[in-house]
Amino acid sequence: MRSLLRTPDTRSLVRDSSLVWLASGIVGVSFGAVSVAGGLPVWVPVVMSLVVYAGSAQFSAVGVLLAGGGPLAAAATGLLLNTRTAAFGLAVADLLDTGRATRFLGAHLVTDETVAFALAQSDPVRRRRAFWISGIGLFAVWNTGVLAGALAGSALGDTARYGLDAAFPAVLVALVLPAVRADATLLRCALLGGALALAATPAVPAGVPVLLALAGLVLHRRPQGAAV
């Protein structure tokens, strides 16, 4: 561990993830603030962030709760949004296969950003390291942010003015670009999937469009000898 923290490799991973942490921390602050400003007690966003730990699902569940949509609708919306974590869990399973504890702990750290960050790395050792660095850091910063926001209430104002909502899609662009650049088949699958998701968005509940995108995999043919 001691040497791990000193390698330039680790330093660059920490540097790159720290921006995602910063942005997530601010989004976390706004989640805490929105929840409390809407009338929920401080412990609700705080506990939810610790045990659910999935930004989009938390926002939508609290949104449904505050809009008076009822607990069943709130839980269903959040769970629907999180079905994608099953696919992400499969994609990073080999990175977590270093023991019982890492499997059970690592599973909780599976998020869009951390999976994207890990898969964007070039070799297995770096991928594993990236998963844990991004995962642990993001968990710490997200939960600290939510607590701070819940305590501060609505003092922060409208966080949309910081442009963070553009930062997250841009982070994902930067992380998937190397993969789709190197693999034309993957690019075709991704473009078809993205188009399907966009087309479906106005018509179906939140969370479903992204799942429909997986239909883009029909374009994924068996590669001719090359490893993916």
Partner 1 sequence: MNATVAVILALAVGTYAFRLVGPLLHGRVTVPARVQELASAGAVVLLVALLATGALTEGGGFAGWARPAGVLVGGVLAWRRAPFAVVVLGAAATTAVLRLAGVA
Q: List binders of partner 1 among 79-118 (CB under 8 A).
A: 79, 82-94, 96-97, 103-104, 106-108, 110, 112, 115-116
What DSSP designation does 221 have? Answer: P
User: Which residue among 1, 6, 8, 51 contacts partner 1 (CB under 8 A)?
Assistant: 51
Give which of 99, 89, 91 is closest to 119, Cα–Cα. Answer: 91
Q: Which stretch binds partner 1 (CB under 8 A): 3-11, 134-142, 143-151, 155-163?
A: 155-163
For residues 33 and 64, which CB has a smaller minimum distance to partner 1 in the complex? 64
CB 224 to partner 1: min, Å: 13
Is 176 in contact with 121 (CB distance < 8 Å)? no
CB 48 to partner 1: min, Å: 5
DSSP string of 97-155, one letter each residue: TT-HHHHHHHHHT--HHHHHHHHTSSSHHHHHHHHHHHHHHHHHHHHHHHHHHHHHGGG
CB 160 to partner 1: min, Å: 7
What DSSP designation does 225 have? Answer: S
CB 2 to partner 1: min, Å: 26
DSSP string of 40-63, one letter each residue: --THHHHHHHHHT--HHHHHHHHH
Contact between 142 and partner 1 by CB under 8 A: the answer reads: no
Instruction: Return d(Cα 198, Cα 219) in angstroms, integer.
Output: 18
Residues 55-84 close enough to bind partner 1 by CB under 8 A = 57-58, 61, 65, 70-71, 74-75, 78-79, 82-84
> How many chain residues interact with partner 1 (CB under 8 A)?
92
Instruction: Return d(Cα 63, Cα 205) in angstroms, integer.
Output: 14
User: Which residue among 4, 19, 67, 155 contacts partner 1 (CB under 8 A)?
Assistant: 19
For residues 152 and 204, which CB has a smaller minimum distance to partner 1 in the complex? 204
Contact between 128 and partner 1 by CB under 8 A: the answer reads: no
Q: Retrieve residue 150's tokens.
A: 């819940």
- The residue with tokens 């297995």 is 124
For residues 5 and 166, which CB has a smaller minimum distance to partner 1 in the complex? 166
Specify the length of the chain in residues: 228
CB 31 to partner 1: min, Å: 14
Contact between 156 and partner 1 by CB under 8 A: the answer reads: no
